[in-house]
Amino acid sequence: MSKANWLPIAGIASSLIVLGCASVDSSANLDALTQQAVASSFRDQGIAKVDRLQQDESNAACSAADVAGVPLDAKRSAAIEAANLKTVQWPKDGKLVGDWREGEKIAQNGRGMTWTDKAGSANGGNCYNCHQISKEEISFGTLGPSLYNYGKIRGITDPGSAESKAIVEYTWGKVWNAKAYNACSGMPRFGHAGILTEAQVRDVVALLVDPKSPVNR
């Protein structure tokens, strides 16, 4: 993944070449102008530094597809998903399911990683901003699908059982790096990007799959 990083600086360098030989309105030139604007407009503030604007291959490809209004082809999507799947870190002790009560707190917490947040403070998962989760919480967003009855619908009665292994692993992988299963997913890569710790991911997985969690009751 790190090899695929592109920098705004590279965009500026190439724009000088493009300006010399291509039409003013070529797509490459507009890309270069945009990168110049990005480089001159943003600055570091608190913990939010300009290096956050460096896109990896997944974000660069999906952004370009969104601008063009044409989704990525199946081959490109599969390659991006495979690269992201490789980054998923599985728990060292093999324990995928933690405490759903902690998971609910993480799902409710929308704090962390903005320029007004302090370095080192625990991040939230922001889950309710986009998803319906427990039915008790009616203040939820609709940017992502409803997760109410997530485990129940998938037939999980014992998350530790052999039958549940595949779906529980998928759930871990999805929370760790959503792009492993959907190249241009709109969901943050919580483990991959260091938003949530391994222990927090474990608790969020519990919220979704534990039959005792309010999600499945």
Partner 1 sequence: MRQTNRAGKLAFSAVLALLASASAVAQKSTADGIAEYREMLQDGNPAELFEMKGEELWKQRRGPKNASLEQCDLGKGPGVVKGAFVELPRYFADTAKVQDLESRLLTCMEKQQGLDAKKIAATPFGKDEQKNMEGLVAWIASQSKGMAFNLPQTHVQEKQAYEMGKRLFFMRGGPHDFACASCHGADGKRIRLQDLPNLTKNPGASEGFGAWPAYRVSSGELWSMQRRLNDCYRQQRFPYPGYASDVTVALGVYMGVNGKDGKATAPSIKR
Query: Measured between alpha carbons, how far is 88 from 178 in angstroms, rounded to an integer?
Result: 10
**Smallest distance, partner 1 to C-beta of residue 169, A:** 22
Do 73 and 62 form a contact (C-beta atoms < 8 A)?
no
Measured CA distances, 5 to 9, 10, 55, 139, 179 (Å) = 12, 10, 6, 37, 16
Nearest CA to 197 among 80, 72, 112, 101? Answer: 112
Using CB under 8 A, which residues numbered 194 to 213 contact partner 1?
A: 194-195
Stretch of residues binding partner 1 (CB under 8 A), selected from 98-106, 161-169, 187-195, 205-213: 187-195
Do 183 and 77 form a contact (C-beta atoms < 8 A)?
yes
Using CB under 8 A, which residues numbered 95 to 154 contact partner 1?
A: 113-116, 126, 128-130, 132, 135, 138-143, 148-149
Size of the site for partner 1 (CB under 8 A): 53
Among 3, 20, 21, 25, binds partner 1 (CB under 8 A): 25
The answer to whether 67 contacts partner 1 (rule: CB under 8 A) is yes
For partner 1, the closer CB: 97 or 207: 207
166 burial (CB, 10 Å; 0-12 / 13-18 / 19+) is: exposed
Structure tokens at 19: 């300006």
Residues that bind partner 1 (CB under 8 A): 24-25, 30-31, 33-34, 36-38, 40-45, 48-50, 52-55, 58-59, 62-63, 66-67, 113-116, 126, 128-130, 132, 135, 138-143, 148-149, 179, 186, 188-189, 193-195
